[in-house]
Amino acid sequence: MIDKYRNGATANELADQFGLHRQTVSAHLRREDVALHSRVKMTPEIVAKATTLYAEGWSTVRIGEKLGLGPSTVGKALKRAGVRMRPAVAERWHQ
């Protein structure tokens, strides 16, 4: 796992490959003193792209996968940008 990470694999890719959560992968890497890659920064351009995709009906999960971000990071950025969020899928089923 360490070699793959050092050769460019992301924590998300390793998590998928090894059946782990990305935070578990990161914890393993930190325990081995591996320098973690910097995370994607929420620039105005990325927020604008996320806003456009969300308006087109994309979920925060799908947007995060495309942009290399977690769905909660996407959701928080959209809320800070003033985007009115749709109810969660589970909540929509009960309406």
Tens digit of each residue's pLDDT (9 = 90 or more) over 39-56: 667 889 999 999 999 999
Task: For residue 58, count CB atoms less than 10 angstroms from its CB and return exposed for 0-12, middle for 13-18, buried for 19 or more.
Answer: middle
pLDDT digits (tens, 9 = 90+) for 58-86: 999 999 888 888 888 899 999 999 999 99
Percent of residues, the chain, with pLDDT higher than 70: 89
Angle 12-71-22 from CA coordinates, rounded to 5°: 25
* Residues 37, 68: Cα–Cα separation, whole Å: 12
Q: Regarding predicted confidence, which is higher, 38 or 75?
A: 75
Question: What range does the domain containing 10 cover?
Answer: 2-31
Please give the structure tokens belonging to residue 33.
Answer: 């003193």
User: Would the pLDDT of 94 be above 70?
Assistant: no
Alpha-carbon gap, residue 21 to 3, rounded angstroms:
18
Q: Total structural domains in the chain?
A: 2
Does 18 have pLDDT greater than 60?
yes
Are residues 83 and 48 part of one domain?
yes
Question: Are 62 and 86 within one domain?
Answer: yes
